Structure 1
Amino acid sequence: MRDAVVVGAGPNGLTAAVELARRGMSVEVFEAMETVGGGARTEELTLPGFRHDPCSAAHPMGAGSPAFAAMPLERYGLTWLHGELAMAQPMDDGTAVVLARSAAETAASLGPRDAGTYRRLVAPFEGRWDTLAGDFLKVPWDGVPRDPLTLARLGLVGVQPVAGLMRRFRDDRARALFAGLGGHAIAPVGTPMTAGMALVFALAAHARGWPVARGGSQSISDALAAYLADLGGTVHTGFEVRRLDELPPARAYVFDTSPTALARIAGLGGAYAGYRYGASVFKIDYALDGPVPWTAPEARRATTVHVGASSREIAVALKAAATTDRAPVRPFLITTQPTLVDPGRAPEGKHVFWVYGHVPNGWEGDLTDAVERQLERFAPGFRDLVLARAVAGPADLARRNANYVGGDIATGAFRGLQTMFRPRVAFNPYATPHPAVFICSSAAWPGPGVHGMSGHNAAKAVWRRLGLSTRRG
């Protein structure tokens, strides 16, 4: 009889397993793929020697994660690499707005009419990331907030749609910046609580940056797995779980899966029938003969580049992906340039480039031309540098990772009560109708991102249920 069995070896499943093993529990992990990683993998998708991240690439929440900060992951090979700028967003006039480690530099890029507004927006939170992240990313039953006033300030701003936050600014440079930050929710700009995501991403940049992991996102998963092994945990790969009775007997089963898969495997019937999946993405990984020739010099210094030159353009693209069956004509793009800071991920002088645009859930078209027209608009000559490309639409993403239902990399739509209460309205979102079954995936609070906090919080729910609090490691 094991104490806990974890299904799925993504960052949340591995984090949950580590947290339980650190407290003296016997843990086994079962992963359907041949390697650990989930949404944090690195593979040669195009040409030999070019190492790409099939899903996540830049990690603002990973570098700022309270769960990861409490683990010695650097001893297991995890190193964060930072570009000169966290993010740049080119404008049609050849300049760019930037998200820098310095709030003052970020504010200056917005122009004189909005610089002061930005500084006033972020000033109450500066220097408070550790307590703010710890308070914001946990669940209410996990003790009182360490800094309730700062958390309340974040809540007052964050509960509104990002469209409301954008109205604070006079010029569209600032509005476009926040529309792009809110776009990480893969939801229309009028969606409640998207302002919170936008603000947290900005604060993370100022506090911890938007780094990439040396060697690729696989390094995060490998570090977690290696730490788990040292704690006595075991990982089985190439083992697809179809029914609960295929697993060893255990006191608790923790699922790093979609709610749909959990209900099917654990025999929970319609427990998550009301859960909804959101828009998808169309992903392209490029092998390039040189760096991206951005017109804006700031974009050449940033590890992440957002492509969307106006708040209206971004809003139209997000709305099309989330509310229609048509892909946007001018997609909003999120891109990363890992080899600017990690040249070993490509042959000498070459580069890998990561990009996705938003499309409707389950969309079956090809967005390649629209993506590359957007890139050529801000980086003329981009197509001339392409040595190879690996294209993945919604169906491809779902085949590679079963959690991405219909290609939804957020494992659940940000809409209605589900924006706040994931995967269902409950005091303990990690518990299920089965007393021994728990969910720890990004379908549960605090949602998507490689930060391990859904796994961290779920592990607390497990050991509270089991009555174990002994810590080791």
Structure 2
Amino acid sequence: MSGPDVAVVGTGPNGLAAGVTLARAGLSVVLHEAADRFGGGLRTTPLFDDDVVHDICSAVHPMAAASRFFREFDLAARGVELLQPEIGYAHPLDGGRAALAHRDLDVTCDLLGPDGKRWRRLMEPLVAHSTGIVDLVLSGGRALPDDWAAPFLLAGRTLAHGTALARGRFATEEADALLAGVAAHAIGRLPSLASGAIAVLLGHLAHASGWPVPRGGSARIAEAMAADITAHGGTFHLGRTITDLRELAGARAVLLDTGVKGLLRIAGDRLPRRYARRLARFRYGPAAAKVDFLVSDAIPWSHPELGRAGTVHLGGTRAEVFRAESLTAAGVAVDDPFVLLVDPGAVDGTRVRPGRRPVYAYAHVPNGDDRDPVELVSGRIERYAPGFRDTVLAARGISGRQFEAYNPNYVGGDISSGAATLVQSILRPTAQLDPYRTPLPGVYLCSAATPPGPGVHGMSGHLAALSVLRREFGVTTPPRLGPDASNA
């Protein structure tokens, strides 16, 4: 009996995006997942209480609201509600101060006082050209821009905010810290060109398509994608770990939603030595150390407006953020790491029960760090929310080292599946014209270890699937992704 047209290994957002694309092209697709549930970084589950669910890896999704794949897939039409907080991201400072990135750019600029005009000059052109900028960045550098203003806006602002030129751009600690918190999403040394690009990209989205939280949790996104795959004939094999490509010998093409380490493991000695050596030089970045809290009440922030924010960056001043991130990238375990926090109940009332609500937080720590992060993260929250510890009913910490056990793609806890340097963001996993194609016939990589890199955008999987369609099946017209009747 012949096998499927395509086998996909791994069902994170990119594996699912590849499955959607290929199944909609009319191919028979089988997806293999080692865990007992699909979704990878999009899993949501109860941890301490059957009535309260927690997002295990990703919780806030600016790229799911912005990327071309998800725009065409149309999550809203599939019943996935992306809830938009009034304040996309916020950054508290000592003394009860805070900087707030409202969805409304005018409100943000008013609140930034003397830096309002500077923030507007930075963000307003980006918002006006947001779709073009997002599509350029998520093309992985392999497509001409649809909006020719996009590369110039992106390049100029990346240089201005990703190098030493960033010093002195703002007059106040508030504006400086607000952008520094977004730059820290690069999870690496600051400043850097990669962090400048990320600050520009993610920073402006709060005023454009937003930093939304899916109603009911991140798993709603994975469920919509999986439902579309099965509706188009795809099948899932859950709880099955693929350890060797020979297990998939019946498929005409194989897509691996695995990291570089996973590709080396599954392909074994079949890879050409030169290519394997290049993969072995792939660099990994710092880790995330995650804490899930079950709390009795809303976080008692010193600045009450922080309770309306979808995402809160805890890092202090710009200088403090840059110091902590640079030391962490150098392998130094600091006591005051950058922490990203989400209180889903601030925007999604379905996540809250009387006297119980989830809080999501992770710290940036050195790769492979094995410290229990509960006290580390609790202390960072307590600095800006005195009394937070008194609200904690239960907590679970996952060290950087333990994160790899949850998802083997997170080597040493690197949730970016590879250091997000500017060069490695473009040349992932190694320099070649088609970064998704491996030297093995019919075998492709489709994970965040390929362009455009980390984030729940689906574009690595989608672009890899388009490469498979062209090279293996002679299909040059991308399938339609929307849920209209003609695609059913």
TM-score band w.r.t. shorter chain? over 0.9
How big is each residue's C-alpha offset from its partner over 1:379-408, in whole Å with a ceiling of 9 and x where there is no partner?
011000000001100122111111101011
Runs of 4+ aligned residues of structure 1 deviating over 4 Å after TM superposition are none
Q: Work out which of the residue numbers 317, 342, 364 in structure 2 matches 1:310.
A: 317
Q: Work out which of the residue numbers 82, 88, 96 in structure 2 matches 1:86.
A: 88
Shift in Å at residue 166 of structure 1? 4.9
Structure 2 matches for 1:240-389, cutoff 5 A?
A: 240-267=241-268, 268=271, 269-324=276-331, 326-389=332-395
1:128 to 1:32, Cα distance in 2 relative to 1, 3 A: same
Q: Give the TM-score of the pair, scaled to structure 1.
A: 0.95
* Residues 327, 358 of structure 1: 8 Å contact kept: no
Amino acid at match of 1:299: L
* Residues 76, 82 of structure 2: 8 Å contact kept: no
Q: Work out which of the residue numbers 59, 71, 78 in structure 1 matches 2:73.
A: 71
Shift in Å at residue 443 of structure 1? 1.2
> SS of the counterpart of 1:207?
coil
2: CA distance, partners of 1:4 / 1:261? 18
1:423 equivalent in structure 2: 429
Shift in Å at residue 369 of structure 1? 2.2
Identity of aligned residues (%): 41
Amino acid at match of 1:280: A
2: CA distance, partners of 1:451 / 1:164? 30
Shift in Å at residue 366 of structure 1? 2.4
* Residues 320, 359 of structure 1: 8 Å contact kept: no
1:180 to 1:131, Cα distance in 2 relative to 1, 3 A: same
* Residues 248, 254 of structure 2: 8 Å contact kept: no
* Residues 4, 252 of structure 1: 8 Å contact kept: yes
2:180 equivalent in structure 1: 179
- Structure 2: gaps of 5 or more residues: 481-486
How big is each residue's C-alpha offset from its partner over 1:180-222, in whole Å with a ceiling of 9 and x where there is no partner?
1011110111322211100111121111111111111111111
Amino acid at match of 2:188: A
Amino acid at match of 1:320: L
1:233 equivalent in structure 2: 234
1:365 to 1:289, Cα distance in 2 relative to 1, 3 A: same
Instruction: Tell whether 2:155 aligns with 1:152.
Output: no
How big is each residue's C-alpha offset from its partner over 1:213-248, in whole Å with a ceiling of 9 and x where there is no partner?
111111111110001111111111111010001125
1:14 equivalent in structure 2: 16
2:484 equivalent in structure 1: none
Amino acid at match of 1:233: G
Structure 2 matches for 1:116-265, cutoff 5 A?
A: 116-142=117-143, 144-158=144-158, 161=162, 164-265=165-266
1:3 equivalent in structure 2: 5
2: CA distance, partners of 1:350 / 1:316? 35
> SS of the counterpart of 1:19?
helix
Task: Name the Cα RMSD after superposition.
Answer: 1.7
1: CA distance, partners of 2:414 / 2:140? 24
How big is each residue's C-alpha offset from its partner over 1:137-194, in whole Å with a ceiling of 9 and x where there is no partner?
114444x321122223212322562654354222222221121101111011132221
1: CA distance, partners of 2:357 / 2:83? 16
Q: Give the TM-score of the pair, scaled to structure 2.
A: 0.92
2:475 equivalent in structure 1: 468
Instruction: Tell whether 2:103 aligns with 1:101.
Output: yes
1:163 to 1:303, Cα distance in 2 relative to 1, 3 A: farther
Amino acid at match of 1:462: V
1:28 equivalent in structure 2: 30
> SS of the counterpart of 1:43?
strand
How big is each residue's C-alpha offset from its partner over 1:233-290, in whole Å with a ceiling of 9 and x where there is no partner?
1111111010001125222111111011112212324351110111001110000000
Amino acid at match of 1:145: P
1: CA distance, partners of 2:370 / 2:395? 18
Q: Work out which of the residue numbers 390, 409, 413 in structure 2 matches 1:407.
A: 413
Shift in Å at residue 341 of structure 1? 2.0
2: CA distance, partners of 1:416 / 1:102? 30
- Structure 1: gaps of 5 or more residues: none
Shift in Å at residue 416 of structure 1? 6.2
Amino acid at match of 1:348: P
2: CA distance, partners of 1:315 / 1:70? 37
The 10-residue stretch of structure 1 (211-220 or 335-344) with the greater mean CA deviation from structure 2: 335-344
Amino acid at match of 1:252: A
1: CA distance, partners of 2:168 / 2:314? 21
1:164 to 1:224, Cα distance in 2 relative to 1, 3 A: farther
Shift in Å at residue 126 of structure 1? 2.2
Amino acid at match of 2:258: T
Amino acid at match of 1:375: I
* Residues 364, 395 of structure 1: 8 Å contact kept: yes
> SS of the counterpart of 1:21?
helix
2: CA distance, partners of 1:45 / 1:399? 17
* Residues 82, 210 of structure 1: 8 Å contact kept: yes
1: CA distance, partners of 2:403 / 2:312? 22
Shift in Å at residue 409 of structure 1? 0.6
